[in-house]
A and B are shown apart, each in its own frame.
Chain A
Amino acid sequence: MNRIFHKVMLAPEVAWLEVEAPRIARRWKPGQFVIIRPTDDSERIPLTIVDGDAARGTILLVVQGVGRTSRLTISREPGEAFTDLVGPLGEPATIGVFGRVVCVGGGVGVAELLPVAAALRRVGNHVTAVCGARSRSQIILDAELHAAADEVCWSTDDGSAGFHGTVVDLLRSREAEFRRAGMIHVIGPIPMMRAAAELTRAWGVRTFASLNPIMVDGTGMCGGCRVTVGGKVRFACVEGPEFDAHQVDFEELARRNSAYREQERLAMQNHECRIGLVLTRQG
Chain B
Amino acid sequence: MPQTGPKRTPKAPRQELPLRDPQSRTQGCGEVSLGFTLKQAQMEARRCLDCKDPKCIEACPLHIDIKSFIARMIEGDFEGALERISEQNPFPGVCGRVCQCELYCEKACLLGRKLKPVAVGALERFAADYASQCGNGLHAEPNGRKVALVGSGPASLIAAYDLVRKGYQVTIFEALHELGGVLAYGIPPFRLPREILRQEIDRLRAMGVEFCNNFIVGKTASLDELFEEGYSAVFVGTGAGLPHLMKIPGENLIGVYTANEFLTRLNLMRAYDFPHSGTPVRVGKRTLVVGGGNSAMDAARWARRLGSETTILFRRGRAELRARLEEIDRAEEEGVHFEFLAAPVRLLGDETGAVREMECIRMRLGEPDETGRPSPIPIPGSEYRVPVDTVVAAIGQSPNPTLQRATPQLITNRGKIVIDDRGQTSLPRVFAGGDVVRGGSTVILAMRDGRAAAEAIDRALQEGR
Residues of A within 8 A of B (CB): 23-24, 27, 37, 41-44, 68-69, 83-89, 216-217, 219-224, 226, 228, 233, 238, 252, 255-256, 258-260, 263-264, 266-267, 270-271
Contacts and interface: CB of A to CB of B under 8 A. Distances in A.
Interface in B208-251: 213-216, 219-221, 241-243, 245, 251
Nearest to A255: B353
Contacts of B216: 86-87, 89, 219
Given A84-B177, A219-B402, A223-B245, A259 B254 contact: yes
Given A86-B215, A238-B402, A252-B353, A222 B258 contact: yes
B264 A220 contact: no
B260 A41 contact: no
A219 B176 contact: yes
A97 to B, nearest CB: 25
Interface residues of B, number: 42
Given A216-B265, A252-B252, A23 B220 contact: yes
B214 A222 contact: no
Contact of B261 (A23, A85, A222, A260): A222
Interface string B304-326: 00000000000000000000000
A238 B264 CA distance: 17
A260 B214 contact: no
B150 to A, nearest CB: 12
Main DSSP-derived SS at the A contact region: mixed
Interface in B260-284: 260-261, 264-265, 269-270, 274-280, 282
B401 interface: yes
Given A41-B276, A216-B269, A86 B177 contact: yes
A220 B252 contact: no
A261 B405 CA distance: 34
B59 interface: no
Contacts of B185: 217, 221
Contacts of A223: 243, 245, 257-258, 260-261
Contact of A222 (B220, B243, B270): B243
Nearest to B251: A233
B4 interface: no
Given A86-B215, A87-B219, A223-B258, A260 B252 contact: no
B175 interface: yes
Contact of A255 (B175, B352, B402): B352
B220 A86 contact: yes
A233 B393 CA distance: 15
A258 B280 CA distance: 12
Interface of B: 175-177, 185, 213-216, 219-221, 241-243, 245, 251-252, 254-255, 257-258, 260-261, 264-265, 269-270, 274-280, 282, 352-354, 400-402, 405
B400 A24 contact: no
Contact of B219 (A88, A228, A266): A88
Nearest to A84: B177
A252 B349 CA distance: 12
A148 B333 CA distance: 63
B241 A221 contact: yes
Nearest to A34: B214
Q: Which 8 A-B pairs have the closest CB atoms?
A: A267-B275, A255-B353, A43-B278, A222-B261, A221-B241, A86-B214, A84-B177, A223-B258
B172 to A, nearest CB: 15
A273 to B, nearest CB: 11
Given A219-B175, A219-B402, A223-B258, A89 B219 contact: yes
A68 B264 CA distance: 20
B269 A27 contact: no
Nearest to B261: A222
Contacts of A258: 254, 352-353
A260 B352 CA distance: 12
A267 B281 CA distance: 13
B295 to A, nearest CB: 12
A27 B220 contact: yes
B252 A221 contact: no
Contact of B175 (A24, A86, A88): A86
Nearest to A223: B258
A278 to B, nearest CB: 15
B267 to A, nearest CB: 12
Contact of A270 (B219, B275, B352, B354): B275
A66 to B, nearest CB: 14
B282 A260 contact: yes
A255 B215 CA distance: 32
Residue picked from A37, A259, A267, most chain B C-beta under 10 Å: A259
A87 B258 contact: no
Contacts of A228: 252
A31 to B, nearest CB: 14
7 contacts: A44-B269, A44-B279, A68-B275, A88-B219, A89-B219, A220-B402, A256-B252
Contacts of B274: 263, 267
B279 A216 contact: yes
A201 B293 CA distance: 45
B417 to A, nearest CB: 16
B166 to A, nearest CB: 29
A259 B253 CA distance: 9
Contacts of A217: 175-176, 185, 264
A274 to B, nearest CB: 10
Contact of A260 (B219, B243, B258, B280): B280
Nearest to A72: B278
Nearest to A86: B214
A216 B264 contact: yes
Contacts of A41: 270, 276-278
B380 to A, nearest CB: 27
A263 B251 CA distance: 22
A88 B220 CA distance: 6
B261 A219 contact: no
Nearest to A251: B353
A259 B282 contact: yes
Given A222-B243, A233-B251, A267 B269 contact: no
Contacts of A222: 243, 258, 260-261, 264
Contact of B400 (A42, A86, A219, A263): A219
A166 B269 CA distance: 38
B220 A221 contact: no
Residue picked from B214, B221, B241, B265, most chain A C-beta under 10 Å: B214
A219 B270 CA distance: 19
Contacts of A42: 278
B388 to A, nearest CB: 16
A224 B261 contact: yes
Contacts of A87: 216, 219-220
B270 to A, nearest CB: 8
